[in-house]
Structure 1
Amino acid sequence: MIVLVSPGQGAQKPGFLAPWLDLPGVADRLGALSEAAQVDLVRHGTESDADTIRDTAIAQPLLVAAGIVAGEALADGRSDIADAMAGHSVGEVTTAALSGVLSAEDAMRLVAVRANAMAEAAAAEPTSMAAVVGGDRAEVLAAIERHDLAPANLNSPAQVVAAGAADAVTALAADAPARARVIPLQVAGAFHTAYMASARTRLEEFAPQLTPADPVVPLVSNAGGRVVTSGREYLDLLVGQVSSPVDWAACMETFRDRGITGMIELAPAGTLTGLAKRELKGIGLVNLNTPADLDAARTLLTGQEN
C-alpha cells in the first residue's frame, strides 16, 4: 500500500515553489488558485522571505497550492494516485482536493477562510506552542496538563506538541519532563486547541457553501487515524480539526495496520517522511520536492523502473 501525504504549516521554505513553475501550465494553475484564495501564490512561493511566509494567512494557502500542483503533476490525469491519502493539519485540505472531496478551487477558498480565521483567533491573546521531544509519553502528557496546556499535535510516540497560553509554554520549557526536550515553535498561536473556537465557528458558517464528494481513495484522518470514505464526513472533520488535536501518530498506526509499503510526501516534503523513517521502518520513502523527484515517486507507485 502506497500512501500519499501532505505536510502541515511550518514545512514551507522560501522559494520552494520556483522549480514547479518550469512545468507547462503550472503558472496558469497557480494563477487560478491564487484567485480562489486571494493570495499571490507565485510571488510568495518564489520571492517572499521566511518571515513573510510564516504568516498563517499566507503559509496555509501556499502549502495547499504547492501540494495540489505537485500532486497533479504526479497524477498526470489519474484520479487514484495512491492507495490511500492523508494530510497533517492544513495538509488535510490538500488531501481533500487531490482525493476529489473538494475541487481545487473550493479547497483554496476553504483554506483562505481557515487561515484568516486562525490568524485572527491567534491574535486575540498571547498563545504559543512547543514540541516536547523524548521522555515517557505518560509523563509528558501529565506535564502538559499540569501546566494547563493541551497536546495539540501527537506527532509520534516520541514527539508531542504542547499548546496554550504563552507564559504556560515558557513554564513548561523551564520544567521539562525527565529525558525530554521542550523546543518552542515559531507559530502564531495555540492551533488545534480551544483557543481556536472562533476559527471553528467561521468554518462551520462557511462549510455549507461547499459540496463535498466521496474520495476516490480512502482517507486517513487526523481524528484518531480514522479511515474515511465519505466526503461529507471528511469535510465535517476538517471543520472540527482546527480546535481539536492532530493525532499523526494514530495515522501512522493506521498505515501500519493497513500494510503500508511506501510513502510519498508532497512538497514541501521531509517532515512526515522523517517521522515515518523512525516509526515505519523498512518502507519506501520519496520526498516530492521538485519535478526532478517525479520519476522516483512514480517508480514507488508502480514498483517498476521508468
Structure 2
Amino acid sequence: MAGRLAILCPGQGAQHAGMFDLARLDPGASGLLDAWFADPQLAPLLRASLDGEQRFANRVAQPSIVAATLATWTALRARLPEPALVAGYSIGELSAYGVAGALEPGAAVKLAGERARLMDACLEGGAAQAMVALSGMPDGSVASLLARFGFHAAIVTGEDALVAGGPAAQGEALARAALAAGGRATLLPVAVASHTPLLQAAVAPFAALLERQRWAAPSFPVLSGISAAPVGDAQQAMRDLPRQIAEPILWQDCMDACREAGVTVALELGPGAALARMLQARHPQIACRSVSEFRSLDGVHSWLHRELD
C-alpha cells in the first residue's frame, strides 16, 4: 500500500447508546467488551453509558469512550496496515496509547475512570465549571474576552476556533459577548473545565497512577496533545498525559503534524465524526472518515484499502 494511515481517537461529546455496536460484530472485540461489562470496577460506568441521562457525566463518559474506541480498534486492527501515527483528542490521547500498544486496553479504560474521578474531585468545594466553543472571533479579541470572564483556552482547533473552560456562572455571559463581538459560541455538555489551570490538582495524582502501570514502547508514534510532537517512548508519555489535564490541547497543530508526516488517509475510531470532519476541512488532500459512518467492519476495510492502494 502506498498511502500512510493516521488513526484518530475521539474525545467527549458524541457518545451514544449504540457506540459499541460496530465492535460487537467482531468476536474478539465483543469478548473484550463482555469482560469489561462484567468487571466490578468498570461495569457500573459502562452500563451507565447506555443511559441517556448519565451518558455525558464525566465519570461515565471518559471510560466508556476509551472502551468504545479500543474495542473498535481491536475489531479492525488485524486487517489494517500499521498506522504512520495515532492522535487522540483530550481523553482520546489515553486511547491513543492503547491503540499504539503502549498500554493494555483494559488498563487504559480503568485509567480513564480514574482520570475522570481525579478531575471531578477538582470541583469539590469549588464553583461549577463549564466549557464553551468559540469561533469566528475578530483577530486579537479572544485573549481579552476570555480573561474578562475568567476563562482559559483549553483546546485550539483553528486560527479562529477554540474551546475554552472556566466558571459555569460566566459561561452564558461569555457566549453572549462572543456573539456580540461577531463570533460564534456554543455551550458544551461538559461540566469540567478540562485542559485549564482549574484542573491542576488532578495532574500529580494522575502522574502517580501512570507510573504504576505496565508500559511498553508505542508500536508507532502518538502525537502529544500539548505539543503535537510525536511520542515514541513510555517515559515521555507519562510526562505529557498528566500535563494535558491542565494545559491546552493544540489540536490544530496535531492536524498539521498529520499532514507533515505524509498522512494520506485518516480513520476516526468513533463515537462521532468530529475529528475526521475537522481534519478534512483543514487538509482536504487527506481522505478522512469515521467508523461511525459505516454499517459494517467490511465497509471500513473496503474504504481504507481503496484509499491506501
Fold similarity call, TM over 0.5: yes
Distance 1:81-1:12 versus aligned 2 partners, 3 A rule: farther
Q: For structure 1, which segment, 203-212 or 97-106, has the greater mean C-alpha deviation from structure 2 after superposition? A: 203-212
TM-aligned CA deviation for residue 293 of structure 1: 4.5
- What SS does structure 2 have at the residue aligned with 1:244? coil
In 2, the alpha carbon distance for the partners of 1:85 and 1:305 equals 16
Partner of 2:122: 121
Partner of 1:38: 42
TM-aligned CA deviation for residue 44 of structure 1: 3.8
TM-aligned CA deviation for residue 182 of structure 1: 1.7
Work out whether 1:134 is the aligned partner of 2:136: yes
Unaligned runs of 5+ in 1: none
Q: Matched residues, percent identical? A: 26
Aligned residues: 303
Q: In the alignment, is the contact (CA less than 8 A) between 1:122 and 1:188 conserved in 2?
A: no
Q: In the alignment, is the contact (CA less than 8 A) between 2:211 and 2:238 conserved in 1?
A: no
Pick the aligned partner of 1:76 from 69, 75, 78. 78
In 1, the alpha carbon distance for the partners of 2:119 and 2:43 equals 16
Partner of 2:152: 150
Matched residue type, 2:122: A
- What SS does structure 1 have at the residue aligned with 2:14? coil
Partner of 1:106: 107
Distance 1:225-1:97 versus aligned 2 partners, 3 A rule: same
Work out whether 1:87 is the aligned partner of 2:91: no
Distance 1:234-1:305 versus aligned 2 partners, 3 A rule: closer
Which aligned pairs between 1:180-191 and structure 2 lie closer than 5 A?
180-191=183-194
TM-aligned CA deviation for residue 304 of structure 1: 6.7
Work out whether 1:173 is the aligned partner of 2:162: no
Q: In the alignment, is the contact (CA less than 8 A) between 1:37 and 1:61 conserved in 2?
A: no
Matched residue type, 1:193: T
In 2, the alpha carbon distance for the partners of 1:171 and 1:248 equals 26
Distance 1:181-1:127 versus aligned 2 partners, 3 A rule: same
Q: For structure 1, which segment, 84-93 or 253-262, has the greater mean C-alpha deviation from structure 2 after superposition? A: 253-262
TM-aligned CA deviation for residue 295 of structure 1: 3.3
TM-aligned CA deviation for residue 299 of structure 1: 3.9
- What SS does structure 1 have at the residue aligned with 2:150? coil
In 1, the alpha carbon distance for the partners of 2:217 and 2:137 equals 40
In 2, the alpha carbon distance for the partners of 1:155 and 1:95 equals 18
In 2, the alpha carbon distance for the partners of 1:22 and 1:211 equals 29
Work out whether 1:6 is the aligned partner of 2:6: no
Deviations 1:199-232 (A, max 9, x none): 2132023122113221111111111211111122
Pick the aligned partner of 1:284 from 283, 287, 291. 287
Q: In the alignment, is the contact (CA less than 8 A) between 1:31 and 1:42 conserved in 2?
A: no
Q: In the alignment, is the contact (CA less than 8 A) between 1:153 and 1:248 conserved in 2?
A: yes
- What SS does structure 1 have at the residue aligned with 2:123? helix
Deviations 1:253-277 (A, max 9, x none): 1112222211100021301011112
With normalisation by structure 1, the TM-score equals: 0.90
In 2, the alpha carbon distance for the partners of 1:290 and 1:69 equals 17
- What SS does structure 1 have at the residue aligned with 2:140? helix
Q: In the alignment, is the contact (CA less than 8 A) between 1:85 and 1:219 conserved in 2?
A: yes
Matched residue type, 2:113: A
Partner of 2:277: 274
TM-aligned CA deviation for residue 305 of structure 1: 9.1
Matched residue type, 2:20: L
- What SS does structure 1 have at the residue aligned with 2:156? strand
Matched residue type, 1:68: L
Partner of 1:265: 268
In 2, the alpha carbon distance for the partners of 1:36 and 1:89 equals 26
TM-aligned CA deviation for residue 37 of structure 1: 4.8
With normalisation by structure 2, the TM-score equals: 0.89
Partner of 2:228: 225
Matched residue type, 2:42: Q
Partner of 1:298: 301
Partner of 2:241: 238
Distance 1:203-1:273 versus aligned 2 partners, 3 A rule: same
Unaligned runs of 5+ in 2: none
Pick the aligned partner of 2:31 from 28, 32, 35. 28
In 1, the alpha carbon distance for the partners of 2:280 and 2:294 equals 23
